[in-house]
């Protein structure tokens, strides 16, 4: 076994120290690598491939809704960036500024986009003239930079990330508000159907909404680290940006009118939530629908039968390739056990073990990554067994994650319940007055617990606010967050 | 006809003033829009869609070669950027520097990537340990910034553009050099088979090679504006970066060795070349294989038959949608003539005109954008006629472009021929000594003509250099360039 590759495993248990576990697993499983700039991360092929799968799903779905892709510049002049007061206030503290071009000082500083409302809506004001130009629905897949000063966490909190940002304009408020929820539903599907991560949909409280929005909706989840992840957001901007950027249109009666706008986005942060949810002490567990590699065939090689076994492994691989992504690991110089560990670390969904005894029975042993369950399967049955087992694994992983989330959710009736939940790092449902002062008070009394969302389907509150005991306006979902 | 949309056409002829024509056509056909930052351009859906088509083709092809996609950070610390001397010398004059994060001055300036060799090879040095890790073949689709001070031209010369950059590492020099040409061949196919733009493949002279490369190959073309476009480059970096960045590997004998590296890229600049080649006085002409919209059906609407005609147009559209991208333009309030102009401006490949007289004959008139040729086609034949006609159009456009390039190419035997060719804005083949001094001399004597490439297949030079009359080393291809 080559010496330089013998330190493959995770040296800490997930339950023991999930932060250390997380840092090890994303590097050792070759998902990401730190760069020399703090908070700026390298997405290696194994994580970028997951991103490509999410992109491909979401891109197809938004195109069905009539959204088109475009690309707007990375750099935004400071004066343009400052145009919408509330928006700039929210983002200015974390803007990275370009001040030099070559050896020349720039006349005006340029912001690297933390989000693209300003640069896009300046163009929208030129393009939109009449109701015939509406709705305008553009999206871009790009990088953004937010110069955060908190401790960076790969995928979950960084200074550069990849995302999509959709920016749409409607003549009609109803159409605009409908789209906010249509998009939120797509985000829910990305997380629940692809990443097997259960989410809560809801509306942000006013103090947590997007800088410049009328209101923000989001999907939220709780990671096994005991911190919540804001997984995606879909904002209704109302007419605020239209006013600031001078976007108006002639309606069918020939009168000038202000349109309604939305913006919505999700990012590579999604991959972090997936890792935290499904990984175990052996490394990554990746849901089959997004796995870069679904099946690995490991031939068990003895000198006398090696040639035959390897040939058979490649033959089987050809059949499996029609229904799943597959590789044969016939590398010399590694034991089978070492290979098993390696592919478990990397989260390959199914391992097919093929040794001389299996071959004699015309079968192979299939091992599932999430449960470790072993099954002896006839070689001729593999191409039908594998896709079914992958779908079963996808469903099982989601069910397990849902159970975890439900087991880690409490419904607090009293402030004492709330405090206990906070200490135990639970996701807490509680009735709430929804005021900014109370939000601050809760944060300070619980070392940082905040309201993630006002969940849909829980709008009927209990009588009083869980903390300040003023009349409650809604149920809130509370936790610490990334 | 709505007043605000009546100024649709290009107001200058392509032959009269191709720069003005180009600027008008890219804006009026809604390909691109200027932003407030000079040299930073908005790619609107009609051009972004072309980019997506090129991406999709090239991405599939490089994946067949075993290349994987990844993503490396946008921002590169100055110290890392400075690590390869020749490389930094080439790029430093046009780097955009980030110096502030929020309200805080940064300790070290960060370069926005003008290209990613430095940030990628720093990571490669960590990842590559043994021959088993090679070849390493990564690619990223991303934005880059080069703060040029020359007059920007949309697509062709800007400060931010989208591209792919492939960065590969091989144990063996031969494998590395083979890949340089495999990739160049893919670039040739992108231009000739998709964009219908003929190119010349060759090797850059030493004074024109990539900063830090052993040698550079490229594809070049000449645009009807009389200026050449470097369309894509594929560089063999040799071991120079491996030395600077400390990339080494243990070979099969257990000895430490330096690997060989390549880098290669093409960009949204490709779209500019396509526009210049094929556009005409009416606007864009887009080759069918990359056209955002291939077919538009324009129902000719009279009050008494409108309803029936529109219904029929949509019915036909459903059949055509199976073989081509198609839209029905049944907007009210525009004349058929106005619509014809609009779709010609935007470069839609085929226009299907459907009026009451056509319908009576169960046929439609199909008009080709590139030639204006009209044909009466039975409605039932449309789904078989259209894909054939689109492929014919693709081939005809490429043949026409090839003829144009050949008509505008001269083979200079004397310096007088060369000067005449330069004055007439021709692409000039001439024997050349290949020295940097002579390159400078030629440039100054011709107001900027330079050697684009030493073309493959023309390696046998004439006896003497066209300018300095020293012994020629190769044939060179000369022109002014973007």
- The token pair that represents B86 in the structure block: 């020749």
Residue B333: closest C-alpha in chain A: A132
Element (H, E) at B238: strand B228-238
Residue in A127, A145, A147 closest to B74 by CB? A145
The ipTM of this complex is 0.96
Q: Judge: B130–A96 Cβ closer than 8 Å, yes or no.
A: no
User: Using a CB-CB distance cutoff of 8 angstroms, which residues of chain A are in contact with residue B80?
Assistant: 36
Q: How far apart are CA B275 and CA B268, in angstroms?
A: 12
- The token pair that represents B56 in the structure block: 């999709």
Q: Judge: A93–B73 Cβ closer than 8 Å, yes or no.
A: no
User: Using a CB-CB distance cutoff of 8 angstroms, which residues of chain A are in contact with residue B143?
Assistant: 71, 74, 142-143
Residue A460 has what pLDDT?
A: 67
User: Using a CB-CB distance cutoff of 8 angstroms, which residues of chain A are in contact with residue B160?
Assistant: 73-75
Residue A352 has what pLDDT?
A: 98
Residue in A33, A42, A69 closest to B52 by CB? A69
| Nearest CA distance, B153 vs chain A (angstrom) | 15
- pLDDT one-digit tens code per residue, B189-233: 999 999 999 999 999 999 999 988 999 999 999 999 999 999 999
pLDDT tier, B2 (very low <50, low <70, confident <90, very high otherwise): very low
Residue A5 has what pLDDT?
A: 45
**A84 and A308 in contact (C-beta within 8 Å)?**
no
Residue B463 has what pLDDT?
A: 76
- pLDDT one-digit tens code per residue, B419-442: 999 999 999 999 999 999 999 999
The answer, yes or no, to whether residue B45 has pLDDT greater than 60, is yes
User: Using a CB-CB distance cutoff of 8 angstroms, which residues of chain B are in contact with residue A72?
Assistant: 35, 42-43
User: Using a CB-CB distance cutoff of 8 angstroms, which residues of chain A are in contact with residue B35?
Assistant: 72-73, 119, 122-123
Any idea which of A6-15, A122-131, B163-172, B463-472 has the lowest mean pLDDT? Answer: A6-15
Instruction: Suggest the residue from A6, A44, A71 to mutate for an interface test with chain B (most B CBs closer than 10 A).
Output: A71
User: Using a CB-CB distance cutoff of 8 angstroms, which residues of chain A are in contact with residue B109?
Assistant: 100
Residue A4 has what pLDDT?
A: 40
Q: How far apart are CA A348 and CA A284, in angstroms?
A: 8
Q: How far apart are CA B283 and CA B281, in angstroms?
A: 6
Checking DSSP bridges between strand B363-368 and strand B200-203, what pairing results, if any? unpaired
Average pLDDT over every residue of B75-79: 97
| Nearest CA distance, A37 vs chain B (angstrom) | 7
Residue B7 has what pLDDT?
A: 53
**B272 and B148 in contact (C-beta within 8 Å)?**
no
| Nearest CA distance, A91 vs chain B (angstrom) | 9
What Å distances lie between residue A256 and A173, A315, B1, CA to CA? 16, 68, 18
A377: exposed, middle or buried (Cβ count in 10 Å: 0-12, 13-18, 19+): middle
Checking DSSP bridges between strand B104-112 and strand A200-203, what pairing results, if any? unpaired
Q: What is the CA radius of gyration of chain B?
A: 25
| Nearest CA distance, A373 vs chain B (angstrom) | 31
| Nearest CA distance, A460 vs chain B (angstrom) | 41
Q: Judge: B48–A36 Cβ closer than 8 Å, yes or no.
A: no
Q: Judge: A33–B69 Cβ closer than 8 Å, yes or no.
A: no
Phi, psi (rounded to 5 degrees) for A424: -85, 10
Q: How far apart are CA A158 and CA A152, in angstroms?
A: 5
DSSP string, A33-89: EE-SSTT-EEE-HHHHHHHHHHHHHHHHHHHHTT-EE-B--SEEEHHHHTSSHHHHH
Cis bond upstream, residue A287 (ω within 30): no
Instruction: Suggest the residue from A73, A112, A113 to mutate for an interface test with chain B (most B CBs closer than 10 A).
Output: A73
DSSP label at A447? T
Residue A249: closest C-alpha in chain B: B4
- pLDDT one-digit tens code per residue, B92-147: 999 999 999 999 999 999 999 999 999 999 999 999 999 999 999 999 999 999 99
A68: exposed, middle or buried (Cβ count in 10 Å: 0-12, 13-18, 19+): middle
Instruction: Suggest the residue from A30, A33, A34, A36 to mutate for an interface test with chain B (most B CBs closer than 10 A).
Output: A36
Element (H, E) at B478: strand B474-479
Q: Judge: A162–B35 Cβ closer than 8 Å, yes or no.
A: no
The answer, yes or no, to whether residue B403 has pLDDT greater than 80, is yes
Cis bond upstream, residue B480 (ω within 30): no
| Nearest CA distance, A92 vs chain B (angstrom) | 6
User: What pTM was estimated for this model as a whole?
Assistant: 0.96
The answer, yes or no, to whether residue B284 has pLDDT greater than 50, is yes
Residue in A2, A40, A109 closest to B130 by CB? A2
Checking DSSP bridges between strand B136-145 and strand A136-145, what pairing results, if any? unpaired
**A347 and A295 in contact (C-beta within 8 Å)?**
no
Between chain A and chain B, the number of residue pairs with CB atoms below 8 A apart is 175
Mean pLDDT, chain B, rounded, equals 95
- The token pair that represents A20 in the structure block: 């250390």
* 10-residue averages of pLDDT along chain A (482 residues): 55 96 97 96 98 98 98 97 89 95 95 97 97 97 95 95 98 98 98 98 94 95 94 97 97 97 98 97 98 98 94 97 98 94 97 96 98 98 98 98 97 96 96 95 96 88 86 95 92
User: What is the sign, positive or negative, of the torsion defined by CA atoms of A428, A432, A438, A439?
Assistant: positive
Residue A462 has what pLDDT?
A: 64
Phi, psi (rounded to 5 degrees) for B107: -70, -40
Q: Judge: A129–B5 Cβ closer than 8 Å, yes or no.
A: yes
- The token pair that represents B441 in the structure block: 């001399």
CA B186 to chain centre: 12
Query: CA nearest B439: which of B451, B428, B447, B430?
Result: B451
Residue B460 has what pLDDT?
A: 67
pLDDT tier, B87 (very low <50, low <70, confident <90, very high otherwise): confident
Q: Judge: A96–B100 Cβ closer than 8 Å, yes or no.
A: yes
A7: exposed, middle or buried (Cβ count in 10 Å: 0-12, 13-18, 19+): exposed
Q: Under 8 Å CB-to-CB from A190, ≥6 apart: which residues?
A: A54, A57, A58, A232, A266, A270
- Give the total residue count for chain B: 482
Residue B461 has what pLDDT?
A: 63
- The token pair that represents A411 in the structure block: 């419904």
| Nearest CA distance, B385 vs chain A (angstrom) | 27
Residue B254: closest C-alpha in chain A: A2
């Amino acid at each position: 076994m080559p010496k330089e590759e013998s330190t493959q495993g995770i040296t800490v248990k997930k339950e023991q120290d999930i932060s250390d576990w997380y840092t090890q697993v994303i590097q050792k499983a070759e998902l990401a690598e730190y760069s020399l700039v703090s908070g700026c991360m390298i997405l290696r092929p194994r994580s970028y491939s997951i991103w490509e799968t999410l992109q491909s799903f979401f891109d197809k779905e938004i195109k069905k809704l009539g959204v088109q892709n475009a690309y707007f510049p990375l750099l935004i002049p400071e004066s343009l960036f400052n145009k919408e007061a509330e928006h700039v206030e929210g983002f200015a503290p974390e803007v990275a500024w370009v001040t030099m071009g070559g050896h020349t000082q720039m006349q005006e500083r340029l912001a690297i986009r933390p989000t693209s409302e300003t640069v896009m809506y300046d163009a929208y004001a030129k393009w939109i003239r009449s109701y015939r130009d509406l709705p305008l629905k553009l999206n871009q897949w790009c990088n953004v930079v937010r110069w955060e000063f908190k401790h960076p966490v790969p995928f979950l909190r960084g200074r550069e990330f990849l995302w999509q940002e959709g920016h749409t304009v409607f003549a009609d408020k109803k159409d605009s508000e409908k789209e906010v929820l249509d998009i939120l539903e797509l985000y829910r599907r990305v997380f629940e159907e692809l990443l097997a991560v259960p989410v809560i949909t809801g509306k942000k409280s006013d103090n947590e909404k997007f800088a410049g929005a009328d209101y923000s909706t989001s999907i939220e989840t709780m990671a096994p680290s005991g911190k919540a992840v804001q997984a995606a957001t879909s904002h209704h901007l109302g007419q605020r940006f239209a006013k600031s950027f001078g976007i108006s249109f002639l309606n069918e009666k020939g009168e000038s009118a202000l349109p309604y706008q939305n913006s919505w986005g999700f990012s590579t942060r999604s991959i972090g939530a997936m890792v935290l949810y499904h990984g175990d002490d052996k490394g990554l567990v990746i849901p089959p629908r997004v796995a870069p590699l679904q099946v690995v065939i490991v031939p068990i090689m003895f000198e006398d039968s090696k040639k035959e076994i390897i040939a058979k492994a490649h033959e089987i691989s050809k059949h499996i390739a029609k229904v799943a992504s597959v590789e044969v690991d016939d590398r010399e110089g590694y034991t089978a056990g070492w290979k098993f560990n390696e592919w478990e670390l990397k989260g390959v969904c199914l391992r097919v073990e093929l040794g001389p005894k299996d071959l004699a029975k015309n079968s192979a042993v299939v091992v599932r990554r999430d449960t470790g369950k072993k099954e002896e399967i006839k070689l001729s049955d593999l191409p039908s067994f594998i896709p079914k087992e992958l779908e079963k694994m996808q469903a099982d992983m989601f069910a397990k994650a849902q159970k975890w989330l439900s087991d880690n959710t409490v419904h607090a009736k009293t402030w004492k319940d709330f405090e206990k939940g906070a200490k135990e790092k639970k996701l807490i449902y509680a009735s709430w007055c929804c005021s900014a002062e109370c939000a601050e008070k809760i944060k300070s009394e619980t070392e940082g617990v905040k309201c993630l969302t006002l969940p849909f389907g829980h709008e009927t509150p209990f009588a009083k606010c869980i903390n300040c005991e003023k009349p409650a306006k809604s149920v809130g979902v509370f936790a610490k967050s990334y």
